[in-house]
Chains A and B, each alone.
Chain A
């Protein structure tokens, strides 16, 4: 091993970079479903960013003169039980959804992959202990984790992110660990170790980039899941709280009662959830097809 540290770094980083570029191009060309998914996501992000400009009303402004009004010129998607504009609340709701979605996915994937890679790297007793702890979290009912987080810390977007991300950590860690185990045996990791690099440097700069594919796949899957979970939690009252605009919240209470006579209150937010999750899954699915080394078209 005559390689200098400089070249080892390059070795491990330049190769994936080239691969990345190729896959992105391939992806757009070969995966129409994935492209549709990506479009949905982009539209949603655009809506979230520009909600302040394009929303026709203040999402919190009540209007007792126009309660439960049907879709019309003034209110394209109608109003809810407080006379609040449904369209505006859906637009602002995309902020909440993305905030919670990205927050939880990034949090879950980051901690999960660090634990996974670390566990694989250190191996031996540390690996064993980490695996046991992960087993405990695996066997632990997800709903209890969510309930306790909310009961201890209270409701609100930040805590919802935490509640959703917690059960994601062990799942991500398990997948990433198994990929990292094989990376660990790669010559360049040995080389890096021989050069006397610190643990954190080897983990972060040599191993992590090489297990990026499964991490990305997990993270996109988490995104859709997180949005759905946020909606479910808000629906049962454990998530984001009124008067914040959030999709799951819009489906709660009055929306169900009024489903017969004022279906717009429930249909549009429901569609927004489905469409968003659909988009993330479509994209994630194609991403997996494209990135998973075992599945790459030969």
Chain B
């Protein structure tokens, strides 16, 4: 019966690949793609960069994953777990594992390995780093009652538990190796994924070749892949344009897209999506006059986001006007609702007049001067910085930009050494719990650089986090958004990032999602002649 179910699943997934592209996948070929940054170590549990995901994810599997053909990047799909069930009280999740999954060293992957991997992530032994421990604070324990079953026990029901299991970082490692040396995976690679590791030439590339014994029969299609490290974006563009690479998975600028498309025509296919990353302005509530909500509201009212979207989407990787959720995803605020928030009104003149009125009311003189700290990264920090300063100038605020070197930047913010500063929120999956955590009070969230305390906001966060009814949760998310962005204007959103992937038309079986962390296992990707 199980075997039948598996076959069915296999048939369904290949049918999906077929119908999506109307072509039979072709075997063979090497996928070449530039990666803008090199992985610090190979341990996904420890790192937090796409520079690790892009070259390393194809060597591993996760328990669940995001459906590789879902454009919203939110739909859970089986991977090492072929099915899962949730208990009535919402506190127990049981995962049934695929049988016959082999590690690259030939040993079988069982529930013991899953438990060991998740124990390392959630309850790391002393001296072992796990950046995502906080994300699984709800998990009480992980159990492995039999070789093909894994059970997660939660402290209380969580609306985002399954979403958090879709993390592309949670590679399943081998238990025996972890027991011997929990740091082994920082400098070595050995997983169950569709590709096996060949070599990593430092400062140059990572090479992977097809895993002939891959458990998902028939996959992968590619003979191998080569991830080439290239820091400079112009060089990445040149690589795709010169047809030395088929794709770059992070994203290009609109102009790069136009240039590549103009040069290569039909040989290029473009996929675009809103991107689950947004730059927002942290406002230091400890500095006067920014402790006054009227001043903060004026700062957001000064922005004409719709005009900004039109102009900046031509020159930068931003586009959609958005609140705390990516437009087009399940919990996003509809545009007409969004337009009611301060700074999102369609009438820019009225909005600016209101901003000026509020500033007067708060005794902020015309030509008031303050500094805005920005991070030393060109795209899209630089254009958004120029835009913000220009917008504030239009309501009579004289803003001086101070650019801080990228690595020192968040250290400066943590110390509270700023008046207003560019801040960054980026997630691997669009999920209110993950996207909104950064806006909760400083006492529970060290990344709240604005240093505000707002118990009402925190209560809304907790309520939506445990709301099992979708409509109820939507309402709460919207209330949270209104309080954070409008009434209190704790922070100020700029524009949603916009992900643009121009890739070779020969590349198939890959679908863009709102996250550059997702969908990089490459098992479904194939190259046509």
Interface on A for B, CB 8 Å cutoff?
60, 62, 64, 67-68, 81-82, 150-151, 154-156, 237-238, 241-243, 252-254, 256-258, 260-261
A254 x B315 contact (CB < 8 A): yes
Instruction: Assign chain B's interface to a size class.
Output: 20 to 34
B314 at the interface (CB under 8 A from A): yes
B401 x A154 contact (CB < 8 A): no
Please, how many angstroms separate the alpha-carbon atoms of A260 and B387 in the complex? Answer: 24
Interface string of B227-263 (1 = CB under 8 A from A): 0000000100100000000000000010110110000
Collect the chain A residues with CB atoms within 8 Å of residue B198's CB. none
Please, how many angstroms separate the alpha-carbon atoms of A252 and B315 in the complex? Answer: 13
B405 at the interface (CB under 8 A from A): yes
Please, how many angstroms separate the alpha-carbon atoms of A150 and B403 in the complex? Answer: 10
Residue among B237, B315, B378, B408 with max Cβ neighbours from chain A (10 Å)? B315
Partner of A243, one of B377, B378, B401: B401
CB B239 to nearest CB in A, in angstroms, measures 15
Beyond A81-B383, A241-B401, A261-B258, 16 extra complex contacts between A and B, CB < 8 Å: A62-B387, A67-B314, A68-B315, A81-B314, A82-B315, A82-B387, A151-B407, A241-B374, A242-B382, A242-B401, A243-B390, A253-B379, A254-B255, A256-B234, A257-B234, A258-B255
B382 x A253 contact (CB < 8 A): yes
Collect the chain B residues with CB atoms within 8 Å of residue A256's CB. 234
Main secondary structure of the interface of B (DSSP, over half): helix
CB A164 to nearest CB in B, in angstroms, measures 17
A67 x B390 contact (CB < 8 A): no
Collect the chain A residues with CB atoms within 8 Å of residue B311's CB. 64, 67, 82
Collect the chain A residues with CB atoms within 8 Å of residue B323's CB. none
Q: Which residue of chain B is the closest to A244 with respect to CB atoms?
A: B401
CB B419 to nearest CB in A, in angstroms, measures 15
Please, how many angstroms separate the alpha-carbon atoms of A60 and B387 in the complex? Answer: 11
A242 x B385 contact (CB < 8 A): yes
- B residues 358-389 touching A (CB-CB < 8 Å): 374, 376-379, 382-383, 385-387, 389
- B residues 400-443 touching A (CB-CB < 8 Å): 401-405, 407-408
21 of the cross-chain contacts (CB-CB < 8 Å) are A60-B390, A67-B315, A82-B311, A82-B315, A151-B405, A151-B407, A151-B408, A154-B402, A155-B376, A155-B402, A156-B402, A237-B403, A241-B401, A242-B382, A242-B403, A243-B385, A243-B390, A253-B378, A254-B255, A257-B237, A261-B258
CB B375 to nearest CB in A, in angstroms, measures 10
CB A262 to nearest CB in B, in angstroms, measures 9
B403 x A241 contact (CB < 8 A): yes
Contacts A151-B408, A252-B378, A253-B378; A243 near B389 (Cβ below 8 A): yes
- A-B pairs with the 5 shortest C-beta distances? A64-B311, A241-B403, A81-B315, A257-B255, A62-B390
B307 at the interface (CB under 8 A from A): yes
CB A253 to nearest CB in B, in angstroms, measures 5
B256 x A257 contact (CB < 8 A): yes
CB B306 to nearest CB in A, in angstroms, measures 11
Collect the chain A residues with CB atoms within 8 Å of residue B403's CB. 154-156, 237, 241-242
CB B489 to nearest CB in A, in angstroms, measures 24
Q: Which residue of chain B is the closest to A61 with respect to CB atoms?
A: B390
B346 at the interface (CB under 8 A from A): no
Collect the chain B residues with CB atoms within 8 Å of residue A243's CB. 385-386, 389-390, 401
B475 at the interface (CB under 8 A from A): no
Main secondary structure of the interface of A (DSSP, over half): loop
Partner of B386, one of A67, A242, A257: A242
Q: Which residue of chain B is the closest to A241 with respect to CB atoms?
A: B403
Partner of A237, one of B253, B310, B378, B402: B378
Collect the chain A residues with CB atoms within 8 Å of residue B387's CB. 62, 82
Collect the chain A residues with CB atoms within 8 Å of residue B256's CB. 257
Please, how many angstroms separate the alpha-carbon atoms of A6 and B512 in the complex? Answer: 84
Collect the chain B residues with CB atoms within 8 Å of residue A238's CB. 376, 405
B255 x A154 contact (CB < 8 A): no
Please, how many angstroms separate the alpha-carbon atoms of A68 and B312 in the complex? Answer: 12
Please, how many angstroms separate the alpha-carbon atoms of A60 and B389 in the complex? Answer: 10
Q: Which residue of chain B is the closest to A254 with respect to CB atoms?
A: B315
Q: Which residue of chain A is the closest to B412 with respect to CB atoms?
A: A154
CB B373 to nearest CB in A, in angstroms, measures 10
CB A151 to nearest CB in B, in angstroms, measures 5
Collect the chain B residues with CB atoms within 8 Å of residue A257's CB. 234, 237, 253, 255-256, 259
Collect the chain B residues with CB atoms within 8 Å of residue A156's CB. 402-403
CB A157 to nearest CB in B, in angstroms, measures 12
B386 x A260 contact (CB < 8 A): no
Residue among B376, B383, B407 with max Cβ neighbours from chain A (10 Å)? B376
Collect the chain A residues with CB atoms within 8 Å of residue B376's CB. 155, 237-238
CB B260 to nearest CB in A, in angstroms, measures 11
A64 x B401 contact (CB < 8 A): no
Please, how many angstroms separate the alpha-carbon atoms of A260 and B259 in the complex? Answer: 8
Please, how many angstroms separate the alpha-carbon atoms of A242 and B376 in the complex? Answer: 10
Residue among A64, A257, A260, A261 with max Cβ neighbours from chain B (10 Å)? A257
Q: Which residue of chain B is the closest to A240 with respect to CB atoms?
A: B403
Collect the chain A residues with CB atoms within 8 Å of residue B404's CB. 154-155
Please, how many angstroms separate the alpha-carbon atoms of A136 and B253 in the complex? Answer: 44
CB B113 to nearest CB in A, in angstroms, measures 42
Please, how many angstroms separate the alpha-carbon atoms of A195 and B374 in the complex? Answer: 59
Q: Which residue of chain B is the closest to A80 with respect to CB atoms?
A: B315
Collect the chain B residues with CB atoms within 8 Å of residue A154's CB. 402-405
CB B77 to nearest CB in A, in angstroms, measures 36
Collect the chain A residues with CB atoms within 8 Å of residue B237's CB. 257
CB A160 to nearest CB in B, in angstroms, measures 12
Please, how many angstroms separate the alpha-carbon atoms of A154 and B390 in the complex? Answer: 22
Collect the chain A residues with CB atoms within 8 Å of residue B405's CB. 150-151, 154-155, 238
Collect the chain A residues with CB atoms within 8 Å of residue B234's CB. 256-257
CB A80 to nearest CB in B, in angstroms, measures 9
Q: Which residue of chain B is the closest to A262 with respect to CB atoms?
A: B255
Please, how many angstroms separate the alpha-carbon atoms of A243 and B234 in the complex? Answer: 22
Interface string of B15-54 (1 = CB under 8 A from A): 0000000000000000000000000000000000000000
Collect the chain A residues with CB atoms within 8 Å of residue B374's CB. 241
Please, how many angstroms separate the alpha-carbon atoms of A252 and B379 in the complex? Answer: 11
